[in-house]
Amino acid sequence: MTTTDLESSTEAITAFLVPRDPRLTFGLLNPLTRPRPLPRPFDAKSTFYLFWARNALYHGIQILGLAAGDNVLVPAFHCASLVEPFIQRGVSVRFYRIDRGGNPDLADIRAKIDGRTRAVLAIHYFGFAGPVRDLRDLCTHHALFLIEDCAHVLTGRGEGGVLGEFGDISVFSWRKLLPIYDGGQLVVNNSALRPVLTLDQPSVLFRLRVWKNVVDRLIEDAPGGGLHRLSGLARWLSGAARRLFTRRGRPAAALAISNYGLHFDPSSVNVPMSGPSFRMVRTVDVDAVITLRREHFRTLLAGVAEIPDVMPLHRELPEGTCPWIFPFVARGRSAFHLRLRARGIPATTWGDVIHEDLAVDEFPEAKFLYESLIFLPVHQSLTAAELQTMIRILREEMRATS
């Protein structure tokens, strides 16, 4: 069974012992919560709130003036959803080498620059700062744009600066770190760029989809009891609405927004961040989220220290880092995440997110990462008991496969 099979199976997701994503609660939607000032780099810059980070990239590409015939250098270790916006704009993608530690190979980037190269995209994998200062210098030296992909970053510091302020443009994906279905952001740092972006007014149907997702999630994330009894009613209402729209010749899937899909949906590119997501972004206590994620990361780090053959990608948590997940390699095991999932641990990999244009055999280190790097959640809703459950089951499964 592949990760995608598992992800598309609701049974598999709801059967987890440990929640894969942060929980949505009524408290987080409280309309009386006052908006907070947004941290850097979101505060004083030219910025746009979009539905997905991939859509932010799509618009960023145009703002940078990249066009058909140009090429961009993109890491060989990536999520396909960030590659597609370039293809959609007719920009060729050339892949550069990433080592087993997730570090970009600057020599390979230099070697791949040609007369049509206009930009380099760099990813701060899993919330940890990459060598973005060197990449900035490289881009400035070669008169290229730097696209800083902060999709795994809530906010963070590193390399002596604020992540998201190094690139000519940067993109964020709030939805990966908060309990929301949508939420991407584009930050334009280069003051020579003149960003103009006209977004659509979301339709009534679209707003309905968004609110349906919010209600579904509230029910799903409720700790049991009352709200679960509502889920039958919600399912019935959702089915009735789907039948209604189908009868009117609209697609049957109109009321579903997948949180895990990789595809690029041209019909959503001009859709702004939804109302509930925008509110959450403005009201969430970012510092509290960072503190919890850091604590959970450290707990896992300490917990796996005694387990032979468990090798964390990062053995330290630098100041200013807000981790998205806990990446590690289970040495000598293959498809080990499936064993964890079978035991109720929402372990994931990037095995199924490779863009079809990547000749992965030409990048053995990236191939290794796709095949071997396993992610455990460290999100803000985890309890101490859930963290210990993950560590215990990891230990047991490592022992069982030694």
For residues 54 and 339, which CB has a smaller minimum distance to ligand PLP in the complex?
A: 54
* CB neighbours of residue 234 within 10 Å: 16
d(CA 258, CA 350): 17
For residues 103 and 389, which CB has a smaller minimum distance to ligand PLP in the complex?
A: 103
Q: Rounded to an integer, what is the distance from CA 45 to the centroid of its chain?
A: 22
Q: In degrees to the nearest 10, what's the CA dihedral of 296, 298, 300, 306?
A: -160
Q: How many residues does the chain have?
A: 402
For residues 303 and 327, which CB has a smaller minimum distance to ligand PLP in the complex?
A: 327
For residues 9 and 259, which CB has a smaller minimum distance to ligand PLP in the complex?
A: 259
For residues 61 and 310, which CB has a smaller minimum distance to ligand PLP in the complex?
A: 61
138 in Cβ contact with 120 (< 8 Å): yes
Interface with ligand PLP by CB under 6 A: which residues?
52-54, 79, 81-82, 123, 149, 151-152, 173, 175, 184
| Least distance in angstroms from the C-beta of 78 to ligand PLP | 6
Retrieve residue 76's tokens: 């060989």
d(CA 376, CA 340): 10
Helix (H) or strand (E) holding 290, with range, is: helix 286-304
| Least distance in angstroms from the C-beta of 176 to ligand PLP | 7
| Least distance in angstroms from the C-beta of 384 to ligand PLP | 28
| Least distance in angstroms from the C-beta of 396 to ligand PLP | 30
d(CA 122, CA 98): 10
**Burial letters for 343-358: b for 16+ Cβ neighbours within 10 Å, e otherwise?**
bebbbbbbbbbbbeeb
For residues 52 and 206, which CB has a smaller minimum distance to ligand PLP in the complex?
A: 52
**CA angle at residue 177 from 148 to 149, to 5 degrees?**
10
| Least distance in angstroms from the C-beta of 123 to ligand PLP | 5
Residue by residue, DSSP assigns 120-151 as EEEE-GGG---SHHHHHHHHHHTT-EEEEEET
| Least distance in angstroms from the C-beta of 400 to ligand PLP | 31
| Least distance in angstroms from the C-beta of 115 to ligand PLP | 27
